Structure 1
Amino acid sequence: MNFELQVKSELIKQKKTLTDLANEMGVSVAYVSDIVKGNRKAEHYRNKICKILKIKNKRG
């Protein structure tokens, strides 16, 4: 499963939105969306997303 699908699936399971995730991270929704879609490298924030959602950080 790619990162975007993994994140979206986990957000649904946890009844969270991308806005909730962005607020927890202290960044904009657009920035989180770019990271999730793979448009930005931002490895630090990618790791933070994984930690918040309790998912594994897999590339691809």
Structure 2
Amino acid sequence: ITLPVEFNASNRAVAQLANYGLVLDNELPAVKKVLQAAALTYVAALLVSILQLLRLLILRGSRD
């Protein structure tokens, strides 16, 4: 649930920054990249959690 919300928030933030004139047109690509990178931290956290779960399952399986 968090990932779609985060990506949507990043897209809305770009639009709002542009609407309020807080960034210039030539700055928009960089702003999009930064906000996309911020949203991708949630993807990275998800991957780390999945890998940690797999690791624990493998360790548990090796004890049996």
Could you state the TM-score of these two structures normalised by the residue count of structure 2? Answer: 0.33
Larger radius of gyration: 2
Higher helix share goes to which structure?
2
